[in-house]
Chains A and B, each alone.
Chain A
């Protein structure tokens, strides 16, 4: 994306994103984090899910967010998908409005209407749990149709055609378009989720542990598919995972998170080859 001055602009510019569950107190941030080794405030028992997370995401980039469970990485994905609200901080999204004009919105401060517009037309999310990302009462085609209809498609034939195309692209046999998600294997459910997320041609795709729990061979094929789709469509992605292998394969840059903080960030290769933070060193050596 190019602005008037000709400088490339990030599609996402997050600064100081903080999310505290609970009442919070003035000492929450000081008493949690890497030093104290917890994300639960000992004074008020609030959970500091995210604290001062800042990063930029550039058009067409895949950014890895790596950490253990409880590190805040899924909280970050929820915030970026507007399923949750930040307690503090900003996340500026840049893109186009419906009429093609340039638009800049703070994801941490949108109203309900704009949030729905963003989710329907500009963002895509793939969950680890297909029950969160798919409606199991509706066919695979219907799941994709829902996104297309949200984005304003009004023709039944076009909805049908595009749903079939998206399923083909994610390597789901066309003949299964009218089957319900419960009739699919785990890997196939993730493919349908990806097809559904891609339906409105979003500018930002969020992937939360999409291959966790799948067989290795299925995992590899889905990761390849994600890479192919990224190259074809140029969609920017945030890939949340606990798996070093996933960021190694997909992400050019990676944030390493712990206790709601970013403890290290940089080029993925560099982080994996020469981790600076003791926690990252521990993660990398454990994976070897």
Chain B
């Protein structure tokens, strides 16, 4: 890498990425092919998101990187290290509210996003039709014709067999009434956060070489029958109530279930920053246990 190059990628690659992002914003939900570059991080570890972030960052930006809701999980640390080393001047934060660019794998922060923020998702499978059609050329035709019947049939068959759509995460959603997207492996819990969101959401699939977008304020509807509404994770207790975070007490957040050594389990907020924020607000000292 040349010492003076900002953002690791060469200028041509950054320009190509930004053009792909513009096109993606102009056609919400459409998968824009681009020439994904080889990164020094393995395919599948977030190279798609990484390339978008590298092409967007400017020295004035404040960056947050999360993996599984945590800022300090190994993959998030690794990506943040790489981004900060290749983008001098960019500052890092763990606070959702302070970040201008948030690169994520598998979660949307609990804290409401605001206008001007950009979410960058790491995407393993960009195409929601992949679960019903393996051939990409046939899938492209299906998207062009708005042919999502086989996806709907999948929902029908799941309801017949399981009384429940068996797609737990990567739940397909229609964007702006047209293209159906794979929202990346975020849990159902996070999908409603994309609907009319104030932030720009960019999705990058490095291995599959696609970029797509949900622009701010865009309508995002999970595929669902009119009489069988889409449901998010319930975190239901045996008595019918809902589990709450044993750390901050939240009963309105996505939870991690942690098996305990002696049997039984503990429930805890998955979004670390959100949980810390609630704890700090509760105790003026702000000390997290």
Within 8 Å by CB, do A and B touch in the complex? yes
Which residues on A are within 8 Å of B, measured CB to CB?
Answer: 112-113, 116, 120, 135, 138-139, 141-142, 145-147, 149-150, 154-159, 178
Interface size (B, Cβ < 8 Å)? 18
Query: What does the 1/0 interface line of B147-163 toward A look like (CB < 8 Å)?
Result: 10110110011011100
Of all chain B residues, which has the CB nearest A157? B227
Among A147, A149, A157, A158, the one with the most B-chain Cβ atoms within 10 Å of its Cβ is: A149
Q: Can you identify 16 A-B contacts, CB atoms within 8 angstroms?
A: A113-B144, A141-B156, A145-B152, A145-B156, A146-B150, A146-B152, A149-B152, A149-B156, A150-B147, A154-B225, A155-B226, A156-B156, A156-B226, A156-B227, A158-B227, A178-B160
Given contacts A112-B145, A116-B145, A178-B160, contact A145 B153 (CB under 8 A): yes
14 further A-B pairs in the complex, CB-CB below 8 A; given A113-B144, A142-B156 = A116-B145, A135-B150, A141-B156, A142-B160, A145-B156, A146-B149, A146-B152, A146-B153, A149-B152, A149-B156, A154-B226, A156-B226, A156-B228, A159-B156
Does more than half of chain B's interface fall in helix, strand or loop, or is it mixed? helix
Q: Is the CB of B149 within 8 A of A138?
A: no
- Judge whether B146 is part of the interface by a CB distance below 8 angstroms: yes
B157 lies within 8 A of A139 (CB): yes
A-B pairs, 8 with minimum CB distance? A156-B225, A149-B152, A154-B226, A116-B145, A150-B149, A145-B156, A146-B153, A156-B228
- Please report the C-alpha to C-alpha distance between residue A138 and residue B146 in the assembled complex, in whole angstroms: 21
Q: What A residues does B161 contact at CB under 8 A?
A: 178
Contact A139 B226 (CB under 8 A): no
| Measured CA separation A149–B156 after assembly (Å) | 10
A254 → chain B closest CB, angstroms = 34
Chain A nearest Cβ from B281, distance in angstroms: 43
Instruction: Show the binding face of B for A, using Cβ within 8 Å.
Output: 141, 144-147, 149-150, 152-153, 156-157, 159-161, 225-228
Contacts of A158 in B (CB 8 A): 227
Please, which residues of chain B bring their CB within 8 A of the CB of A141?
156, 160
Cα-based distance from A157 to B157 in the complex (angstroms): 13
Nearest CB in chain B: distance from A159 CB, A:
6
Whether the pair A138, B153 counts as a contact (CB closer than 8 A) is yes
In the bound complex, residues from chain B placing their C-beta under 8 Å from that of A112 are: 141, 144-145
Contact of B157 among A113, A116, A138, A154 (CB under 8 A): A138
A59 to B124, CA, bound (A): 51
Closest to B147 in A: A116
Residues on the B chain within 8 Å of A149, using CB: 149, 152-153, 156
Closest-CB distance, B155 to chain A (whole angstroms): 8
A116 cross-chain contacts in B, Cβ below 8 A? 145-147
Least CB distance, B179 to chain A, in whole angstroms: 14
List A contacts of B152 (CB < 8 A). 145-146, 149
Nearest CB to that of B145 among chain A residues?
A: A116
Closest to A145 in B: B156
Task: Give, as a whole number of angstroms, the nearest-CB distance from A200 to chain B.
Answer: 11
Chain A neighbourhood of B153, CB < 8 A: 135, 138, 142, 145-146, 149
Q: How far is the CB of A97 from chain B (nearest CB, A)?
A: 17
Q: Which residues of A contact B227 (CB under 8 A)?
A: 155-158
Interchain CB contact under 8 A, B144 and A142: no
Is the Cβ of A113 less than 8 Å from the Cβ of B146?
A: yes
Closest to A178 in B: B160
In the complex, which residues of chain A have a beta carbon less than 8 angstroms from the beta carbon of B156?
Answer: 141-142, 145, 149, 156, 159
Chain A positions within 8 Å of B226 at CB level: 154-156
Bound CA–CA A146/B147 (angstroms): 11
Are B157's CB and A142's CB within 8 A?
A: yes
Shortest beta-carbon distance, B150 to chain A, in Å? 7
Interface-central residue, A113, A135, A145, A178, by most chain B CB under 10 Å: A145
